[in-house]
Amino acid sequence: MTRIARLTSDDQDFVAVLADAARILQGGGTVAFPTETVYGLGADATSAEAVARIYAAKGRPAFNPLIAHVANLEAAALQGLFSTEASMLAEAFWPGPLTLVLPLATSASVCALARAGLNSVALRIPRHPIARALIETFGRPLAAPSANRSGRMSPVTAAHVFEDLNGAIDLILDGGPASVGVESTIIACLDEGPRLLRPGGLTRQDIETVLKRPLEDRVAAGSSHAAPLIAPGMMASHYAPHAQLRLDALTREPQESGLDFGGRFAPAAEVFDLSPRGDLIEAAAHLFDYLHRLDQLGKPVIAVAPIPHHGLGEAINDRLRRAAAPR
């Protein structure tokens, strides 16, 4: 059963409860916490195993990229590259209900699974005092999607989180109802000017006032290449390996490299096993890293062993099918 810890900012146990939550996060566990928009389901954004537990708890059929929550601008600048306009938005609206999608910085520590393999990163500094205190106590970026099961509504109370995720996560920090109640506004500041990816708690008008120009929508009129570059859930077009993928391979041919699961292929330098013991959480944690490394070997075909379709297997198979799709 999942524990619930009630806390208010003048609670005398505040520091002890947060230290406990940070310990759970350091151990790779999952903690739901209030933000001013909705409750988030947090895990260590720098650990693929920890992030895999978020996807497992949510029962997501695919790996959506997650927002990395950070404590301050310095921490954000280690993860993402800020254009002038991105900096203007950050200065104006952080902490608050704004998420910026930025090119990944070379100093970034947010793991590939949290980014769903993209070379961009979604960053947010939340305003809620419990969220901020948790991130500061933990000291690392906190990956957190909304704390609901996949396909359900975003939770705005600890009770909503408990209904959806009891038994699937370690701890819920109850800080009362979320005040904004809708998710953050997401703006991509990639190679083009700012684009609205998701409307949310911060209005278009507020953003345009700061930018002093109209905010463009996700897909520019007449643009053919911009859409797949930034659309959420379209990871295949972001990171597709150069090599072809041969799925459900029962054996590996000598000219192929291999992405194994559960020790099916004979061990070799060009074979990476997602999880020799057949654990789907471990497999998810390794997926993007191993695909990158196999691609770098330069073999034209990667043989991919069958992955069971239950639990995180569904999301792993979804990602592999996208990567294998003809282009």
Integer Cα distance of 45 and 48 in angstroms: 7
Q: Which is nearer to Mg ion, 35 or 146 (CB)?
A: 146
65 binds ligand TXA (CB under 6 A): yes
Contacts of 126 (CB under 8 A, 6+ apart): 35, 36, 37, 40, 69, 95, 96, 97, 132, 135
Residue from the set 125, 165, 169, 186 that interacts with ligand TXA by CB under 6 A: 186
Radius of gyration, CA atoms only, the chain:
20
Apex CA 240: angle with CA 234 and CA 245, to 5°? 120
The helix/strand/coil state of 143 is strand
Please, how many CA atoms are within 13 Å of residue 311, restricted to the half-sphere of its CB?
Answer: 15
Residue from the set 35, 46, 79, 257 that interacts with ligand TXA by CB under 6 A: 35
The answer to whether residues 124 and 8 touch, using CB atoms and an 8 Å cutoff, is: no
Q: Which is nearer to ligand TXA, 62 or 211 (CB)?
A: 62
Q: Which is nearer to Mg ion, 172 or 294 (CB)?
A: 172
Q: Which is nearer to ligand TXA, 121 or 294 (CB)?
A: 121
Q: Which is nearer to ligand TXA, 28 or 201 (CB)?
A: 201
Q: Residue 246 Cβ, how far from ligand TXA at the closest point, in Å?
A: 28
| Structure token pair of residue 19 | 């230290």
64 binds ligand TXA (CB under 6 A): yes
Residue from the set 5, 22, 32, 37 that interacts with ligand TXA by CB under 6 A: 37
Beta bridge pairs of residue 172: 4, 32
Contact stretch for ligand TXA (CB under 6 A) within 65-73, 78-86, 263-271, 299-307: 65-73
Integer Cα distance of 293 and 314 in angstroms: 22
Residue 230 burial (CB < 10 Å; 0-12/13-18/19+)?
A: buried
Q: Which is nearer to Mg ion, 305 or 315 (CB)?
A: 315
Integer Cα distance of 145 and 54 in angstroms: 8
Residue from the set 90, 169, 230, 249 that interacts with ligand TXA by CB under 6 A: 230
Q: Residue 212 Cβ, how far from ligand TXA at the closest point, in Å?
A: 25
Site for Mg ion in 99-158 (CB under 5 A): 146
Closest CA to 312 of 261, 271, 270: 261
Integer Cα distance of 58 and 154 in angstroms: 11
Residue from the set 232, 278, 306, 308 that interacts with ligand TXA by CB under 6 A: 232
Residue from the set 124, 252, 264, 286 that interacts with ligand TXA by CB under 6 A: 124
* Partner from Mg ion, ligand TXA, none contacting 257, C-beta within 5 to 8 A by type: none
Whether residue 61 is preceded by a cis peptide bond, meaning omega within 30 degrees of 0, is: no
| Structure token pair of residue 146 | 């909304």
Closest CB to ligand TXA: residue number: 232
Residue from the set 30, 46, 83, 146 that interacts with ligand TXA by CB under 6 A: 146
197 binds ligand TXA (CB under 6 A): yes
- What residue ranges bind Mg ion (CB under 5 A)? 146
Q: Which residues bind to ligand TXA, rule: CB under 6 A? A: 35, 37-38, 40, 64-67, 99, 101, 115, 118, 120-122, 124, 144-146, 183-184, 186, 197-198, 230, 232-233
